């Protein structure tokens, strides 16, 4: 089963996250498939803009794949995790063509941060953005860097330290989303926006985007090493293992010790 499905709609490339789980968790394989599809769309002269969706009645992405996180037994494996996540975000920012995120259900943690990389973000009225890392003993350094760059210190502080859902109305007010609509119209609205943005002259758009995203790209690179240090400490403390056990319904300590 393909992790990303690809469809062209009158010059718009629609990439649908198609993990077997409707929550669309991101592991390394999912990230690699997404990056490959996104770069191919960016290189394709027949594509004017790119829409990314979690699929009908599915979450945009509920975050990282817990099954993979359980296997992070060394500092090197944690560093690799931070590297591919950072590179995932940078790939969206470095895409020269307009990118539109169609966000339904949940965008949590990694999924929330990934959504913030897009040029235009449309949320369904039932969608929620959530940054629950601290509540579960996971470092939120990358989320802190991203949200404080795209919004403000106070908004980032509240989103990260409250660990509470951010609905579409609040996301619009805080600049985390650009539009909202009912779920049944979400993909059509995203494609319509993509058609509008695809009409921008390519050189003017890509050059402007490069400048516009410069600060966020620099922030991601600057926080790469800091995030590695934060996550090494958090994973070594194993504070998040109880949460993973509740989610996965398995013996976390056994799974973790199998890699040591």
The answer to whether residue 149 scores a pLDDT higher than 50 is yes
The CATH number of the domain where 13 resides is what?
3.90.226.10
Structural domain including 148 reads 4-257
Mean pLDDT of all residues in the chain?
A: 88
- Give me the number of domains the chain comprises: 1
Q: Look at residues 49, 62, 189 and name the one whose alpha carbon lies nearest to residue 124.
A: 189
Q: Are 4 and 88 in contact (CB under 8 A)?
A: no
Return all residues near 105 (Cβ < 8 A) that are at least 6 apart. 23, 54, 57, 58, 59, 60, 124, 126, 127, 128
Assign 164 to helix, strand or coil.
coil
Indicate the angle between helix axes 141-150 and 214-237, nearest 10 degrees: 160
Return all residues near 57 (Cβ < 8 A) that are at least 6 apart. 22, 104, 105, 183
What's the confidence (pLDDT) of residue 258?
Answer: 32
Least reliable range by pLDDT among 28-37, 52-61, 73-82, 140-149: 73-82
Q: Phi, psi at residue 97, to the nearest 5°?
A: -85, 160
What's the confidence (pLDDT) of residue 70?
Answer: 57
Give the chain's count of helices (H) and strands (E): 12, 9
Q: CA 195: distance to chain centroid? A: 23
**pLDDT per residue as tens digits for the range 179-207:** 999 999 999 999 999 999 999 999 999 99
Q: How confident is the model at residue 221 (pLDDT cuts 50, 70, 90)?
A: very high
pTM: 0.89
d(CA 230, CA 63): 18
DSSP string for residues in 1-62: --SEEEEEETTEEEEEE--SSTT--B-HHHHHHHHHHHHHHHH-TT--EEEEE--TTS-SB-
What's the confidence (pLDDT) of residue 73?
Answer: 54
Rounded average pLDDT over 205-220: 97
């Amino acid at each position: 089963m393909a992790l990303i499905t690809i469809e062209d709609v009158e010059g718009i490339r629609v990439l649908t996250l198609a993990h077997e789980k409707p929550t669309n968790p991101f592991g390394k394989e999912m990230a690699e498939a997404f990056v490959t599809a996104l770069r191919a769309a960016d290189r394709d002269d027949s594509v004017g803009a790119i829409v990314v969706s979690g699929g009908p009645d599915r979450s945009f992405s509920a975050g990282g794949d817990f099954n993979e996180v359980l296997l992070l037994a060394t500092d090197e494996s944690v560093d690799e995790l931070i590297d591919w996540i950072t590179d995932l975000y940078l790939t969206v920012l470095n895409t020269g063509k307009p990118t539109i995120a169609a966000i339904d259900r949940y965008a949590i943690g990694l999924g929330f941060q990934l959504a913030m990389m897009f040029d235009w973000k449309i949320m369904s009225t039932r969608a929620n953005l959530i940054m629950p890392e601290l509540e579960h003993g996971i470092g939120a350094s990358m989320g802190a860097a991203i949200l404080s760059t795209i919004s403000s210190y106070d908004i980032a502080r509240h989103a990260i330290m409250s660990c509470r859902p951010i609905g579409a109305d609040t996301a619009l007010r805080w600049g985390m989303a650009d539009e909202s609509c009912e779920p049944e119209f979400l993909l059509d609205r995203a494609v319509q926006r993509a058609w509008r943005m695809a009409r921008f002259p390519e050189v003017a758009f890509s050059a402007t985007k490069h400048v516009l995203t410069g600060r966020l790209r620099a922030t991601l690179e600057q926080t790469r090493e800091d995030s590695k240090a934060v996550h090494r400490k958090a994973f070594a403390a194993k504070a998040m293992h109880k949460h993973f056990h509740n989610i996965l319904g398995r013996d976390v300590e056994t799974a973790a010790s199998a890699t040591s």
